[in-house]
Amino acid sequence: MRFNYRWAAAAALLMLAGAALWYWRPWAGGEAAPQYRLGKVERGTLAAAVASTGTLNASITVQVGSQVSGQIQALMADFNSEVKAGQVIARLDPASFESRVAQAEADLLVAQGSVEVARGNLAARQAEAKRAEVALADARRNMERKQALVAQGFISAAELDTAQAAHDSAREALATARANVGVQAAQLKSSQAQVAQRQAALRQAQVDLSHTVIRSPVSGVVISRNVDVGQTVAASLQAPVLFTIAQDLRSMEVGIAVDEADVGQVAPGQQVRFTVDAYPGERFAGQVSQIRKAPQTTNNVVTYSVMATVANPDLKLLPGMTANVRILGDEHRDVLKVANEALRFRPVQADGSPLRLEVRGRETGPGLPGRVWRLKNGQPEQVPLRLGISDGSDTEILGGDVGEGSEVILGLAEGNGKRTQRPFGRPF
């Protein structure tokens, strides 16, 4: 059979023309049609939750300080030491305080001696006053006899005048003696007051001496030590902190910073779930115990401190750990829910510009307005919704043109907006 070169040439030309048409097709170099990730509207249980971060702390933390200044002589506790209430954990050098006690004791003895002297002087003045009373009584009787004798004419008036002068002198002497008794009594009271002062000074010196022995006020674990042996602490304006003791690490609390927009959803008694970076995948539980009304403003953001109690029987949780917290609120069962990712999605056109939204009336009813997108004839179509509670990942649907199993757009599929490459670098 003879080979037909004409037919072979024609076939080759057709093949080349087809390849050229594929290579130079009009849509070559354009953007591929966008592809979307889809998700389904589901029915299930949804619990409202407030997500935030917090810091773990011991429920009761006591800072142990020194009430007196001095040099650290010895330390009996260190980091992580378990201590009991009343246990000695540090000592200051007591030498200067012991000398103050000795000085106060000596001053007290001097003051007590002064009291005895004043008491003796008072007794002497009282005796003098008694003698003056006796002398006055004798002078009065003598004057009365002289008055009777003068009246009878047995003696002269001059002798009566002498008796009168003696009586007046004895009366003034008694007044002086009684005044001296009063002065001496006042001196005795002053000496007794000095004794009380010296006793108070002695007690203060003894208290200061006792403060050189630092004792733990509570039973717990030392989580901080701020001094070393030989260091001098000065308790001038405030007591320097030597140790920080956590009373019981088996019961801790989480201080949660809750935004002002979410604090209305939080109430004492609500359950708390949280994780810490130290134990990935493990969840811990707690309960809201207090909402502190003191606001904290940082970069114009207002937050409130919410405290939650946490059981820590295994001592896994340590003070200062950062907790990723979810505060659980109302729980709704058998409700429609959609992923929050679908609520955040906004479609764009092929050139990257925002898709022009169709103006439509929104659904009315309870809840907050929202919107999801679904595919209709390959194009995104918006669906207005009314939304209820959210747990941070899904949101309840109260109303809207969606049902269980409806597919909604979650976002663009990976690789959208990129040119597809053909051999030799020519894009599709």
> Which of 380, 362, 294, 286 has its CA nearest to residue 327?
286
Residue 176 shares a structural domain with residue 158: yes
- 386: in domain: yes
- 149: in domain: yes
Residue 141 shares a structural domain with residue 274: no
Does residue 427 carry a pLDDT above 50?
A: no
Residue 205 shares a structural domain with residue 295: no
Predicted confidence band of residue 72 (pLDDT cuts 50, 70, 90): very high
What's the pLDDT at 359?
52
- 327: in domain: yes
What's the pLDDT at 19?
63
- pLDDT winner (highest mean) among 13-17, 48-52, 78-82: 78-82
Residue 241 shares a structural domain with residue 319: no
Residue 315 shares a structural domain with residue 271: yes
Predicted confidence band of residue 421 (pLDDT cuts 50, 70, 90): very low
Per residue in 121-175, pLDDT (tens digit) is: 999 999 999 999 999 899 899 888 888 888 888 888 888 888 889 889 989 998 9
Q: What is the DSSP string of 74-87?
A: EE---TT-EE-TT-
CATH number at residue 395: 2.40.30.170
- 23: in domain: no
What's the pLDDT at 5?
60
Residue 281 shares a structural domain with residue 134: no
Q: Which residues are 36's β-sheet partners?
A: 412
Q: How many domains does the chain have?
A: 3
Q: How far is CA 61 from CA 27, 219, 245, in A?
A: 71, 11, 6
Where is 202: in which H helix or E strand? helix 157-210
Report the pLDDT averaged over residues 221-249: 89
- 316: in domain: yes
- 421: in domain: no
Residue 264 shares a structural domain with residue 357: yes
* Domain hosting residue 198, numbered range: 95-210
Residue 264 shares a structural domain with residue 377: yes
Question: Could you tell me if 315 and 82 are in contact, meaning their C-beta atoms sit under 8 angstroms apart?
Answer: no
In whole angstroms, give the CA distance from residue 254 to residue 327: 12
Give 350 or 331, the one with higher predicted confidence.
331
Q: Mean pLDDT across the chain, nearest whole number? A: 85
Per residue in 197-208, pLDDT (tens digit) is: 999 999 999 999
Does residue 361 carry a pLDDT above 70?
A: no
